[in-house]
Amino acid sequence: MVMVNGISSAIGHHVALLNIHPGYRTKIVSRRIHYRERPVDLKLEIAAGCSKSLQFELIQVIRRDTKIDTDLIDNRG
C-alpha cells in the first residue's frame, strides 16, 4: 500500500517501474467509518494491480476530517 498525492501520476510511475497495469480503480466517497472510536468521513481514490508474484495498491486521500493517513505513517513508518 502506497499513500500518494496524485493517483494518476502515481499510476504512471508505478506502471513504468513495475510493468503492471492497475486492474482495479475506484473512488470511495464519504463512507461513514469509525477511527479511534469516533465517526469520520473520507473520500478516497484507490488503484490496485497485480502480477503472479506482486500486488500494489495506491491510495489517494481526497477529503478527510481527520488525519488517518498521517497517523498511520507517523505511528508505523
Residue 73: band (very low, low, confident or very high) from pLDDT cuts 50, 70, 90: low
pLDDT at position 31 over 60: yes
How high does pLDDT run on average in the chain?
80
Residue 77: band (very low, low, confident or very high) from pLDDT cuts 50, 70, 90: very low
pLDDT of residue 46: 93
d(CA 73, CA 32): 22
Residue 12: band (very low, low, confident or very high) from pLDDT cuts 50, 70, 90: very high
pLDDT of residue 36: 77
Q: What CATH number is given for 2-76 in this structure? A: 3.10.180.10
Mean pLDDT on 55-67: 79
